[in-house]
Structure 1
Amino acid sequence: MKLSRRTILRGAGALTLLAGRLGTSALAQTGPAGDISPILFVHGNGDHAALWMTTIWRMESNGVPRERVFAINFTDPLARTDDKVEQANRSSTEDARRELGEAIKALKQSTGAARVALVGNSRGGNAIRNTIKNGGSGDVSHAVLCGTPNHGVYAWDEGLGNEFNGRGPFLRGLNEGDSEVTAGTAFLTLRSDGLDKYAQADGRFAGKPGTPTNITTEGPALKGATNLVIGAVDHRETAYHPRAFREIYKFIAGREPSRIEIVSEAIVKLSGLVTGTPGGVQTNRPVSSASVDIYHVSDDTGERIGGTVHSSQTNADGRWGPAQVDPSWSLEIVLTSPGSVTTHFYRSPFPRSSDIVHLRAARQPLAADAGAGAVVLMSRPRGYFGLPRDVVLFDGKEPDDVKPGVPTDAVTTLRLPAAEIGRPVVGIFNQERIVARAWPASENRIAVAELTY
């Protein structure tokens, strides 16, 4: 079987192959890296394949052939409250194990490799461990678990059916024995030096402030694995930060990467998937009849430069694109999805091609939005806003809805009066800068400055 350069649906699962073009100059600078095991990246709870985009760009920039680098989209990425009790648009540990097993099989068949490497963030690591322990060890050469709550987010006697309870049957089954890893697969865990919100002694991040979780910052470590602390990174950054990339690459390739930076391509092609939130639950189920329109916009004002660069409408598979853009262009991507808010995504330039540019309509209006002329969000999918760790400025000031200390917030909201509709809004996160425009809330529109890094 040969994988096409589109999303491949196998039952309920989806395995996504990058469809970008790797420049020959990049390969010449880095040398071939086809000796590396094919890599399947596995996202976390409620997330999607696109979170691995910058990691995959870094792999490509080190000469790893795109035909050997994939990312999965779990159909229903959110875990059930109780693993054994059905819950609409949520998945069990067995659902995740089955979908991951299908993706591994497809990757092996497409590459001809006997074994593959798996890299997971958070809940993705649960699926990886479950798959390897229950018959999959012969298929997996390396397993990298990034911020995975291997001993739970908490360890309590109540709610034992929850997948993230360290005293529950799921995690106890994975952790039984003198070794907590499966023989025959090399395991690496990456964890934060104190800033992972799901490896904290206090239960406030699990909804019980002041109650001990019985978990420490060492919760992601496993007996029998190589366990590394990679610094003051947050829960998602344990997977998506450049520091994490270095360790992921080194562990799988057996050598240091030749570069950490992302090498730009001359021509960038973008495509991806439109998904929805049935019943208010984030899923990776495709949305049909959604329109995607892309504009080149000014770096300084967010104003459109010329007409549409790309327009397409999704079919039953939810796919949009491909769109060809310049790697120096800032973009506005307008998603008009049935029954949802029209969402204007503002993005800093894409240096490389990707076919996992995931689009999901922004949230529905909140009570707090009532009376606002415009609502603008700044979103960081691959990490959280850490104060005072990071420089975070939204419309010229530090947001007051981002809590200091352990990073927990990935979205900040700005509400503007009607008189300010149409004006530019600048979002700055460390060295990334995006300029969005304020759209009328009365037209059921919302703007999102979506950070890439």
Structure 2
Amino acid sequence: MRLSRRTILQGAGALSFAVASLRTGALGQTAPAAAPSTEVPPILFVHGNGDYDALWMTTLWRMESNGVARDRMLAINFTDPLARSDDKVEQAGRSSTEDQRRELAAAIAELKRRTGAPRVALVGSSRGGNAIRNVIRNGGAGDVSHAILCGTPNHGVFATDDQPNNEFNGRGTFLRSLNEGESEVTPGVAFLTLRSDGMDKYAQADGRFIGKPGVPTGVTVEGPELKGATNLVLCALDHREVAFHPRAFREIYKFIAGREPARIAIVPEQSIRLSGLVTGTPGGAPTNRPVAGATVEIFRVDPETGERKGGAVHRSKTGADGRWGPAQVEPAWPLEFVLTSPDAPTTHFYRSPFPRSSDVVHLRAARPLGPADKDAGAVVIMSRPRGYFGLPRDVVLFDGKAPADVKPGVPTDSAATLRFPAVDVGRNVVAQFNEERIVARAWPAAENRIAVAELTY
């Protein structure tokens, strides 16, 4: 008997959904291309809840590799990316739907000014799709040619009669205002939704993925779809991958450009310039507010041991704008970024070689060492910002073993943590995710240091 990957991952309970999807032709389809045009419209990428524009780095590279000029693309960085618990009540370090609408409208105006184009295409991940729909619905439709919503909880993460002012409540005030009417899209704008086939943790019938096991959420895997849009299912991709995976890129590009991309792979550059923004987590909330007075050092490291090869190839200190760089590196170099940020652990980020230049290599210090780390000689984190770890969907090995803190089934974890005794300080630690392999070093926790193996793909 041959079992599908999805059956293995989700068990017999998902089989009925697979059958239903096959009946409606949801699996294996692709979005129809828009009418062919000579030039791709400017594209504005919109990140999700608690995230930042750096998540679009690989998408920007793929667009550039298909001839889209970098200056015709923009990725917004919302000031306070986390949603409020109650959209009507101010909450430190968090934003309302109106805050997001206002910032996105300003970014659209800036991209139009910069390019001279009458309309732009918008691509949003998760909460970013809420901001896109809000802008379009409330006066911005004339500025937008395409709206692509990736894993956006268009009908809520939950749908209940309590919490009426929660942005993610499908029965709440905000989403009901966006979804009312016979069609859920705005005329004149081409809408595409991309969703998972049951692997999106925020589109689940059971509340266990939002901390309420056994409680019905009132939503289904079809929640990200919209009446009136082109709705596309990307099989076993997770909540983030439906925005950042190569499979998602193909559909995003085709829908906007009106043709298949010439290539999916990223075309390397000969010379690499990197720069970015240092941000922080005041009060524990991740923000995109700049951090001044942070020091960034970059070292070339050995791909097999993680050891430094010579002195720093770049060193800079951030000013009021929080920017660091630019740094000149080679496309074959694995790198260690050392971030020394005020009132935060010194964080050693280990990264795979960068195939292309980027100005969104953002750095945010790792979380403070806590009670769980008190007996650790070293703490090493494996992080996947552009997706979740899926077991057994993916090969995920951390120091040679499947991470104990990554749950199997529907992918819900984007980070894993290992703690080592003092005797292991200085040793190398291998983080392997499918074909990407990063070798980090274990730095002493006693010096308030944490190492992060940050995956690119």
The answer to whether structure 1 residue 290 and structure 2 residue 286 are counterparts is no
Residue 106 of structure 2 corresponds to 102
Q: Displacement of 1:367 after TM fit? A: 1.2
The answer to whether structure 1 residue 323 and structure 2 residue 327 are counterparts is yes
* CA contact 1:58–1:261 (8 Å) conserved in 2: yes
Counterpart secondary structure, 1:308: coil
In the aligned structure 1, how far is the partner of 2:176 from the partner of 2:138? 14
- Letter of the structure 2 residue corresponding to residue 310 of structure 1: H
In the aligned structure 1, how far is the partner of 2:135 from the partner of 2:241? 24
Residue 371 of structure 1 corresponds to 375
Residue 8 of structure 2 corresponds to none
In the aligned structure 2, how far is the partner of 1:218 from the partner of 1:47? 24
Matches within 5 A, 1:407-426: 407-426=411-430
Counterpart secondary structure, 1:312: strand
Aligned counterpart for 1:154 among listed residues 143, 153, 158: 158
* CA contact 1:43–1:72 (8 Å) conserved in 2: yes
In the aligned structure 2, how far is the partner of 1:92 from the partner of 1:207? 23
In the aligned structure 2, how far is the partner of 1:341 from the partner of 1:151? 39
- Letter of the structure 2 residue corresponding to residue 79 of structure 1: A
Aligned counterpart for 1:402 among listed residues 397, 402, 406: 406
* CA contact 1:34–1:64 (8 Å) conserved in 2: no
The answer to whether structure 1 residue 69 and structure 2 residue 79 are counterparts is no
- When residues 150 and 216 of structure 1 are mapped into structure 2, their CA distance, relative to the original with a 3 A threshold, is same
- Letter of the structure 2 residue corresponding to residue 197 of structure 1: K
Residue 304 of structure 2 corresponds to 300
The answer to whether structure 1 residue 252 and structure 2 residue 248 are counterparts is no
- Letter of the structure 2 residue corresponding to residue 264 of structure 1: P
In the aligned structure 2, how far is the partner of 1:154 from the partner of 1:281? 22
Aligned counterpart for 1:266 among listed residues 270, 274, 284: 270
In the aligned structure 1, how far is the partner of 2:411 from the partner of 2:231? 22
Structure 1: stretches of 5+ with no match in the other structure: 1-32
Q: Displacement of 1:205 after TM fit? A: 1.5
Deviations 1:196-229 (A, max 9, x none): 0000000112221101111010000000000000
In the aligned structure 2, how far is the partner of 1:394 from the partner of 1:366? 21
Q: Normalization by structure 2: what TM-score?
A: 0.92
Matches within 5 A, 1:329-408: 329-408=333-412
* CA contact 1:34–1:65 (8 Å) conserved in 2: no
Deviations 1:355-407 (A, max 9, x none): 00010000001211111000000000000000000000000100110000000
Counterpart secondary structure, 2:94: coil
- Letter of the structure 2 residue corresponding to residue 188 of structure 1: L
In the aligned structure 1, how far is the partner of 2:165 from the partner of 2:374? 39
Counterpart secondary structure, 1:377: strand
- When residues 56 and 67 of structure 1 are mapped into structure 2, their CA distance, relative to the original with a 3 A threshold, is same
In the aligned structure 1, how far is the partner of 2:439 from the partner of 2:245? 23
In the aligned structure 1, how far is the partner of 2:40 from the partner of 2:207? 40
- Letter of the structure 2 residue corresponding to residue 448 of structure 1: V
Structure 2: stretches of 5+ with no match in the other structure: 1-36
Q: Displacement of 1:34 after TM fit? A: 7.1
Residue 182 of structure 2 corresponds to 178
In the aligned structure 1, how far is the partner of 2:198 from the partner of 2:249? 19
Residue 221 of structure 1 corresponds to 225
Matches within 5 A, 1:71-220: 71-220=75-224
In the aligned structure 1, how far is the partner of 2:320 from the partner of 2:92? 21
Residue 20 of structure 2 corresponds to none
Runs of 4+ in 1 over 3 A off after TM superposition: none
Deviations 1:46-96 (A, max 9, x none): 000000000000000001111111100000000000000000010000000
Q: Displacement of 1:267 after TM fit? A: 0.3
CA root-mean-square deviation = 0.7
In the aligned structure 2, how far is the partner of 1:34 from the partner of 1:407? 39
Residue 435 of structure 2 corresponds to 431
- Letter of the structure 2 residue corresponding to residue 438 of structure 1: A
Residue 24 of structure 1 corresponds to none
* CA contact 1:80–1:162 (8 Å) conserved in 2: yes
In the aligned structure 1, how far is the partner of 2:93 from the partner of 2:407? 30
- When residues 34 and 90 of structure 1 are mapped into structure 2, their CA distance, relative to the original with a 3 A threshold, is farther
Counterpart secondary structure, 1:86: coil
Q: Displacement of 1:231 after TM fit? A: 1.3
Deviations 1:239-281 (A, max 9, x none): 0000000000000000000000000000000000000101111
In the aligned structure 2, how far is the partner of 1:346 from the partner of 1:333? 6
Residue 19 of structure 1 corresponds to none
Residue 444 of structure 2 corresponds to 440
- Letter of the structure 2 residue corresponding to residue 231 of structure 1: C
The answer to whether structure 1 residue 239 and structure 2 residue 268 are counterparts is no
